Structure 1
Amino acid sequence: MGEYTIELIKILIWPVLFIVILLLFRKPISTFIENWKKAEVKVDKSGITIAAETVTETVRNITKASIERAVSVEENERGRYIEEGFKGVSDTITKIQNYFDKIRNRKILWVDDHPEWNINEKSAFETMGIKITWCLTNEESLNKLKNENFDVIISDLFSDEGYPKGFDLLGELKTKKIPLIFYTGRVTQNLKEKAEDKGAYGIVDSPALLTSKVLSAIIGGEM
């Protein structure tokens, strides 16, 4: 294959991929664009002014996080990942616009021994006025809960060795009635069923779904 042919393929491949994405995901994309158009300065139901920059910066951080995690998404899962990403961002925008008074000043306890992997997600929540408290271990988080109240708990599910330590934390929290959402590398049907059976509020592997799910827990939305 000649050098000219290779360059021609490089030029053509991205427009083709773009068209394929538009055709496959036109519904979530159109919903996303429609919600984005509404992301202007407005007043929510309680009279709180929401700056457009709040929505824009939140979406920017979610997008950055999504791109970083996309490299680890398996090829047969990429379609789902893209579609859920658009849906999650659209849902997040809608919730910020309609429930900003319930969202701001809330508190999340985030349990993860690798907080450096979730910097953009953390920034997205902080842009919405949500305070994040990090804990590196289950034990540390349980001690923190003895002295402080939180609205939602986000936890990784597996240790570096592959042990599902998140389920241990969930078992310790049964009496506390705090929504716990697992944020993991890949959600399988088996993991989803186990998490639901054990009482988790949700389990997600997408930054956009994470923000949407957390906001649902805060405002009292459906699981």
Structure 2
Amino acid sequence: MDHPTYDVHITEAAHEGFPWHDFLPILPSLIWVTIVLALLFWLGDWGLKSFLSRATKIGVAGLEIELSAGITGAAAERHIDVPAKERDRIVRRLENAKSYFERARVLWIDDIPDGNQKELQILVSLGSIVDLARDDEVAREKLQTGVYDIVLSDMARGDNPDAGLGLIDEICAAVLTPKLIFYVGDPNRTRPTHAFGLTTKPDELFHLIVDALERRRG
């Protein structure tokens, strides 16, 4: 018997069969698709609506927890006490105003942006697009090339306690005139002329942002 010929024949037959080596990598995905389809069939119309309703509630609860933790963390980093009542109030307002935040454009000017990470995460989780600028030069470039709903700014930078005032005229002259909100560390600062608001507290910051977006969308 010619064994080499026999071996070649078996190999060719195997190649002519089902391509298991191509099928195996996608097998887990096919199994999940089958499970999902079976689940939808088993739930039926009413069951599917109930399932989606529960999933929505879980999603809302997850967002609420994330927002609450963000406000609490931001307050702690700034050594500010935000009472639970005020925290819950702004969390509810943020949830109700989520549609205002989606695709909202925000320019945040601060030479130490790491100090605003909690607040930044809240904006992003609500769907906003945030650009960062560490100084007036970068902020000026972004204002000239982009359209913003809100400009958030610090006040003191380096040795200049009034650095944040330098761009007020240019912000007011920008396309569609974004709302300018100062987020500062000195509680004795007063709101500059032409600024929409000024605060040291994260909960008040987001109240101002919601107010500003409501006016922009209104």
Relative to the length of structure 2, the TM-score reads 0.66
Mapped partners of 1:91, 1:149: distance in 2: 30
Match of 1:209?
204
The count of corresponding residues between Structure 1 and Structure 2 is 160
Higher gyration radius (CA) = 2
The AA in structure 2 aligned to 1:179 is K
Bigger relative CO (Cα 8 Å, ≥ 6 apart): 1
- Aligned counterparts of 2:158 and 2:146: Cα–Cα separation in 1: 28
**2:157 maps to which of 156, 159, 181:** 159
Aligned residue in 2 for 1:24: none
Q: Is the 8 A contact 1:59 1:124 kept in 2?
A: no
Q: TM-score, normalization: structure 1?
A: 0.64
Deviation at 1:216, TM superposition (A): 1.4
Q: Percent identity?
A: 22
Deviation at 1:50, TM superposition (A): 6.6
Whether contact under 8 Å (1:103, 1:219) holds in the other structure is no
Question: Does 2:72 align with 1:66?
Answer: no
Partner in structure 2 of residue 54 of structure 1: 63
Which letter maps to 1:56? I
Q: CA deviation at 1:171?
A: 2.4
Superposition misfits of 4+ residues, deviation over 3 angstroms: none
Which residue is equivalent to 1:7? none
Structure 1: runs of 5 or more not aligned: 1-39, 43-48, 74-80
Structure 2 gap segments, 5+ residues each: 1-54
Q: CA deviation at 1:41?
A: 4.8
Deviation at 1:91, TM superposition (A): 4.2
In the TM superposition, what whole-angstrom CA distance separates every residue of 1:72-105 from its partner, at most 9, and x where no partner exists?
x6xxxxxxx545x743x34432333333222212
2: CA distance between counterparts of 1:179 and 1:185?
Answer: 20
TM-fit CA distance, 1:214: 1.1
**SS class of match (2:172):** coil
Q: Which amino acid in the other structure matches residue 77 of structure 2?
A: E
